Amino acid sequence: MIRFALSKGRLAAESAELLARCGVDTSVLQEDTRKLVLESADKKFGFFLVKPSDVPTYVEAGVADLGIVGKDTLLEEDKDLYEMLDLKLGECRLCLAGYPSRRDTLTNPHLRVATKYERTARRVFLERGEDIEIIPLHGSIELAPVTGLADVIFDVVQTGSTLKANGLVVLEEVFTGITARLVVNKVSLKTKSGEILPLIQRLKEVLA
Ligand code: PRP
């Protein structure tokens, strides 16, 4: 059996649809259930439904053979696994954003940056030689500049509608081409190559 760690949330439906197009029986994923471990009817595939930020952990540990997760999460988690394929799903950008009237904010030597990508933000500003304060948050990041908790945010922007609804704009695109990726456990790629490699080939054909 091939075991997948799949991201719950915005990538879930698109990931299931892509796998179905590759011949994976994903009908069990359509069920309205609170179960977190699911199996395809033919028992060829298992699915673990996990928070996006936990997908790399499951794949690195080998509990899951394969995972589908955003590049933003891979940058942040920096786990020991193979990133095999860009699945071109859920494209977004990792940006610094804030108030349009304060475009000079980024040069503030005591910049306060709110983010759920703490390690990535730290790396970005370290490379620039800038000493900033990171304010780690878990969600609703746009609220931080609005309430004065932070000067700017470092966050994913997809449609831009959350920024717009809160009066914020992109100040700088830091990483573009943030899409879902297929990741593979290093041992599984060897021990289950007979199942994994044909699946990767089918994914490539469907994506082409
Ligand atoms: C993400 C991100 C932004 C929003 C961007 O949050 O943190 O808030 O999506 O998307 P948009 O550009 O299409 O508006 P998510 O919806 O995952 O929820 P969260 O606030 O709970 O992290």
Is domain 2-90+179-207 annotated with CATH 3.50.50.60? no
Q: Inform me whether the pLDDT recorded for 43 exceeds 80.
A: yes
Mutate to test the pocket of ligand 1, among 76, 158, 159 (most ligand atoms within 8 A of CB): 158
pTM for the model stands at 0.94
Return the domain boundaries, the chain. Answer: 2-90+179-207, 92-176
Ligand 1 centroid – CA 156 distance (Å):
7
Q: How far apart are CA 169 and CA 55, in angstroms?
A: 30
Q: What is the pLDDT of residue 77?
A: 96
164 within ligand 1 shell (Cβ under 6 A)? no
Q: Which of 65-74, 105-114, 127-136, 189-198 has the lowest mean pLDDT?
A: 105-114
152 within ligand 1 shell (Cβ under 6 A)? no
pLDDT tens digits for range 129-146: 988 999 999 999 999 999
Q: What is the pLDDT of residue 10?
A: 87
160 within ligand 1 shell (Cβ under 6 A)? yes
Q: Inform me whether the pLDDT recorded for 159 exceeds 70.
A: yes
Q: Give the pLDDT band (50/70/90) at residue 103.
A: low
Q: What is the pLDDT of residue 101?
A: 80
**Contact assessment for residue 145 and residue 151, using Cβ atoms and an 8 Å cutoff:** yes
Q: What is the pLDDT of residue 96?
A: 96
What average pLDDT does range 169-179 have in this prediction?
97
- What average pLDDT does the chain have? 95
162 within ligand 1 shell (Cβ under 6 A)? yes
Q: Give the pLDDT band (50/70/90) at residue 157.
A: very high
Give the number of the atom of ligand 1 that is nearest the alpha carbon of residue 138: 22
**Contact assessment for residue 196 and residue 82, using Cβ atoms and an 8 Å cutoff:** no
What average pLDDT does range 157-177 have in this prediction?
97
Q: Inform me whether the pLDDT recorded for 37 exceeds 80.
A: yes
161 within ligand 1 shell (Cβ under 6 A)? yes
159 within ligand 1 shell (Cβ under 6 A)? yes
Ligand 1 centroid – CA 116 distance (Å):
11
Contacts of 147 (CB under 8 A, 6+ apart): none
Q: Give the pLDDT band (50/70/90) at residue 184.
A: very high
* Pick among 3.50.50.60, 3.40.190.10, 3.30.230.10, 3.40.50.2300: CATH of 92-176: 3.40.190.10
Which amino acid is it at 24? V
Pairing of strands 45-50, 152-157: unpaired
